[in-house]
Amino acid sequence: MSRRLDKYEKLPVYQKSQELFDLAEIIADALREDKMKEHLAAQIFTNAALIQAKIAGAEGGGLYSLRMQNAVLIKLAVQDMFNAVSFASMVKINEEDYVDLMRDKVEEFRLVFIDWIRSFDKSYDIPDNWAIRFDTSTPEQEKLEELMFDEDRFLDDFDEDDFEDDEPEEEE
């Protein structure tokens, strides 16, 4: 499993997310004094952690729809985190003004994020039955979707060693 961890942790988008996480942790620690501040601190910190979890999730599978679903959730988490930092500054409940620093880190992350999602393989996908990416309203489209999914390629993403038990099999 550590092999997969090493792979996504080396990605520029993950490394930038770590910078966001570190800054979010500093800001959250500065806000932890009362109930109002504690709520904002939790919102900031939780969203920073969610960003990293969703990057790992997107890298864990190759299907375009699933990767893009994670990408959308990352975008929303970044926006929520920045909004919480901005709100704390607006109502003057933090002693430091972290808005500009967070804005700079978000912009750095956004640029790397764009490069990352552009690297997703759009041809490697299946219909998700929600008709977000595919219009399944015609028989022709349904046939095209069936042709797009390559089951062998999908199954190649799974490493058989990840599913084997560590215990030796008992002989009968």
Taking the CB of residue 28, how many other CB atoms lie within 10 A of it? Answer: 22
Domain that holds residue 63: 2-122
Look-up: residue for tokens 């952690």? 49
H-only helix segments in 99-171: 99-118, 139-148, 151-156
Task: Assign 125 to helix, strand or coil.
Answer: coil
Same domain, 29 and 12: yes
- Closest Cα partner for 26 from 48, 3, 2? 48
Torsion of CA 91, 97, 102, 104, to 10 degrees: 130
Tell me whether residue 95 is in a domain: yes
Q: What is the pTM of this model?
A: 0.74
Same domain, 53 and 106: yes
Tell me whether residue 71 is in a domain: yes
Low-confidence ranges of the chain (pLDDT < 50): 1, 172
Tell me whether residue 91 is in a domain: yes
pLDDT of residue 1: 46
Tell me whether residue 7 is in a domain: yes
Tell me whether residue 169 is in a domain: no
Number of domains in the chain: 2
Distance separating the N- and C-terminal Cα atoms of the chain: 31
Same domain, 16 and 91: yes
pLDDT of residue 166: 53
